[in-house]
Structure 1
Amino acid sequence: MPTSLENQLVVAISSRALFDMSESHRIFVEEGVDAYCRYQIENEDEVLEPGVAFGLVKKLLALNKSRERTRVEVILLSRNSADTGLRVFNSIEHYQLDVTRAAFTNGESPYRYVPAFGAHLFLSSDPDDVVQALNRGYAAATILPGGAAMQEAGAAPEQLRIAFDGDAVLFADEAERVFRSQGLDGFSVSEREQAKQPLPGGPFKGFLAALHAIQAEESAEHCPIRTALVTARGAPAHERVIRTLRSWEIRIDEALFLGGLPKSEFLAAFGADIFFDDQQGHCELARHHVATGHVPHGVANENVISQA
């Protein structure tokens, strides 16, 4: 019977999101493809330093430990060729990461392999690749440079903690469009009137559902995954969010309704391994505290999307 990734959480990640390839990327930009290839081959036995999403990947793969079946599969999607990608796989082996599947596309965008692998999430350092994946309905985020996730003292270091914004990430952006066209008062009236009408799902609904499926196998007290909704919404706009998640039958462990307060300190307090938000301003603040993925989707990113 053929091998299948069905019933697994599948995360696809680029080599620059997994490892620090800033020097090799600089050579590529400044000196061109040939110089980049020579550099990678000459240094293929030199181990790459961990990148922004390295800690996230380690915790994802740790979900497979002491389990009868594989629950998480991490796939490498890289613009490298097989030749230049050898250094990446050597680094994967050095860090003992259980990553065995990959697509090396030799300069072309690898996003087209997201559905082929059945990935629930695609993480990349290339915004164009991310936009292409999002435009086709797949959860994707651009990993921003910054410090690694900072665990709050007392938070279980082995527990995977993922935080999400709401509108245009977990949910569609229809409420955000009302806010931008009618202001806060119009937004509040609209959300109050539609409080019992579930929001449509956004690009990360499927990824959250896949996380929830793993959580459902564990007791709440010993669950290896903890999720949080961190939103600028406040009362009365909170009710529609709560009812939406209830209608989806998806569990969110913590919900922070900040009423416009900056999110970064709350993300650090939660101990997020990664945070996903559609608004660049929120991401720029958050990336100094936790690993952050910008989701270029929805009305806040129409200029970015139209240029892709």
Structure 2
Amino acid sequence: MSDAVTTDDQRLVIAISSRALFDLDEAHRVFEEQGLDAYSHYQIENEDTPLPPGQAYRVVRKLLALNERLPESLRIEVVLLSRNSADTGLRVFNSIEHYGLAITRAAFCGGESPWRYINAFGCQLFLSAEPGDVRKALESDVAAATLVSRAATEAEGDQLRFAFDGDAVLFSDEAERIYKEQGLAAFAESERASRHEPLDGGPFKQFLAALQRLQSAFPASEAPIRTALVTARSAPAHERVIRTLRAWDIRIDESIFLGGLKKTEFLKAYQADVFFDDQQTHCDLAADHIATGHVPHGVANPPEKCE
């Protein structure tokens, strides 16, 4: 078997933790209340019992289904990264087989953090239930989010709809820092003065670009992926955002400038499959309705706040 990758290969590789893919809450309670030995025994005893779907299961299922319509060079691969050992992780792989998910690569790390394998697998996105692992992935320049949803609802239809916050997610937190440190008036004035200067990219810039590559394989009216920017910004701070995306040559399908309104109703109207935001408050409000990933990045997430 050859490991060679062609120079035009633009595959999207996503890493996901076992607790994000499947609902392991019951097993995790055994671990927390009774310890590692009891947890190992529980998982082995139940290894032929499929795990219930987790927060990211439906997003992963929709992503893998796209491979039936994509050329080889744009295929999507999902890699499992787990703190389980291979022994206790057998239940996870059995569950993958039960649900017919095309996931063949995995790293079982025997209690150690699996984030260190993200770059080795060539991953562009990491979804996990462990905030510490997510922060390490972000420090390694990989888009990453802690899944904080309390709902496993599924948006209607086969189209996969991503929603992103702007500052500290798609864009750097340079503008948000001015807002936090100097207030709204200073933020608005700075954005007006800098409206022709593109913002630096945030942790999800390259992931958004990868999604656009997938979209480009289809006619615009038939693209199975749709993207939206859902931001608290309003006029006049909208102009710099539009010019930034134009300078990056990245298309985003919908841009919603809320001027401070709560995001949840708009995310529901958009029928988002998954939403990424750096503000814990916005994530908490959306978590009952939409698969939500908290991005612990930028001025709103100092290290001491995330520990």
TM tier, shorter chain?
Answer: over 0.9
Report the Cα distance in structure 2 between the residues aligned to 1:68 and 1:233, rounded to whole angstroms: 37
In the alignment, structure 1 residue 15 sits paired with structure 2 residue 18: yes
Instruction: Deviation per CA, 1:37-81: give whole Å up to 9, x if none.
Output: 110001000000000100000010011014442610000000000
- What secondary structure, in the 3-state scheme, does the structure 2 residue paired with 1:301 have? coil
SS at match of 1:275: strand
1:216 corresponds to which residue?
216
Q: How does 1:1-308 map to 2 (within 5 A)?
A: 1-4=2-5, 6-69=9-72, 71-151=75-155, 157-304=157-304, 307=307
Q: What is the rounded CA distance, in whole Å, between the counterparts of 1:201 and 1:66 in structure 2? A: 30
Give the deviation of 1:3 after TM superposition.
4.3
Structure 2 alignment gaps of length 5 or more: none
Say if 2:296 and 2:306, in contact at 8 Å, map to a contact too: no
The letter of the residue matching 1:137 is D
- CA offset at residue 302 of structure 1? 0.4
3-state SS of 2:228 partner: strand
Other structure's SS at 1:63 match: helix
Contact preservation (8 Å) 1:52, 1:143: yes
Give the TM-score normalised by the residue count of structure 2: 0.96
**CA-to-aligned-CA distance 1:98-156 (integer Å, 9 cap, x gap):** 000000001111001110011010000000000111112111000113112453xxx5x
Cα distance in 2 for partners of 1:73, 1:305 equals 33
AA of the residue aligned to 2:272:
A
C-alpha distance 145-259 of structure 1, shift in aligned 2 (>3 A): same
RMSD, matched Cα: 1.3
CA deviation vs aligned residue, 1:222-276 (integer Å, no higher than 9, x gap): 0000000000000000000000000000110000000000000100111111000
- Distance in 2 separating the partners of 1:28 and 1:2: 37
In 1, Cα distance between equivalents of 2:163 and 2:180: 24
The 10-residue stretch of structure 1 (195-204 or 67-76) with the greater mean CA deviation from structure 2: 67-76
Answer whether contact 1:19 1:50 (CA < 8 A) is retained: yes
CA distance in 2, matches of 1:38, 1:221: 51
Distance between the aligned counterparts of 2:281 and 2:5, measured in 1?
40
The separation in 2 between residues aligned to 1:105 and 1:137, in whole angstroms, is 21
Q: Pick which of 40-49 and 61-70 moved more.
A: 61-70
Distance across 1 between alignment mates of 2:5 and 2:33: 41
In structure 2, C-alpha distance between the alignment counterparts of 1:68 and 1:191, rounded to whole Å = 41
Distance 2:209 2:303 in 1: 29
Length-normalised TM-score, structure 1: 0.96
Q: CA deviation at 1:88?
A: 0.3
Over the matched positions of the two proteins, sequence identity in percent amounts to: 63
**How far, CA to CA, are the matches of 1:304 and 1:220 in structure 2?**
44
Q: Does the 8 A contact of 1:121 with 1:139 survive in 2?
A: yes
3-state SS of paired residue (2:88): helix
In the alignment, the residues of structure 1 paired with residue 241 and residue 94 of structure 2 have an alpha-carbon distance, to the nearest angstrom, of: 44
Moved more, 60-69 or 254-263: 60-69
Distance 1:3 1:46, change over 3 A: farther
Unaligned runs of 5+ in 1: none
Q: Please state whether the residue corresponding to 1:245 is helix, strand or coil.
A: helix
Q: Secondary structure at the match of 1:196?
A: coil
Distance in 1, Cα, partners of 2:306 & 2:48: 41
Please tell me whether the aligned partners of residues 163 and 228 of structure 1 are also in contact (alpha carbons under 8 angstroms): yes
Superposed displacement of residue 289, structure 1:
1.3
The CA deviation string for residues 190-225 of structure 1, in whole angstroms up to 9 with x for no partner, is: 000000100000000111111011111111100000
Asked whether the 8 Å contact 1:165–1:230 carries over to 2, the reply is: yes
Change in CA separation of 1:149 and 1:233 when aligned onto 2, cut-off 3 Å = farther
Contact kept, 8 Å, 1:149 with 1:271, in 2: the verdict is no
Aligned-partner Cα distance in 2 for 1:306–1:236: 32
Question: Which amino acid in the other structure matches residue 167 of structure 2?
Answer: D
Q: Distance in 2 between matches of 1:169 and 1:149?
A: 24
